[in-house]
Amino acid sequence: MARSVHIETTIPGAYFDERDDVVSRFQRHQTQLWWRVYRQQYELYTSEAVLAELRQGSFPQQDEAVRLLEGVPVLPVDEEIGGVARAYVEHLVMPRGHMGDSFHLAFACIHALDYLLTWNCRHLANPRKVAHIAEINRRLGLLTPTILTPQMLVEEDFE
Residues 43-92 have pLDDT tens digits of: 999 999 999 999 998 888 999 999 999 999 999 999 999 999 999 999 99
Report the share of the chain in percent with pLDDT over 70: 97
* CATH domain 3-152 topology: Rossmann fold (3.40.50)
Whole-number mean pLDDT of the chain? 94
| pLDDT score for 158 | 44
pLDDT above 60 (res 29): yes
| pLDDT score for 57 | 87
pLDDT class of 156 with cuts at 50, 70, 90: low
What letter does residue 157 receive in the DSSP assignment? -
Q: 48-55 vs 99-110: helix axis angle to the nearest 10? A: 150
pTM, full prediction? 0.94
Distance CA 115, CA 144 (A): 9
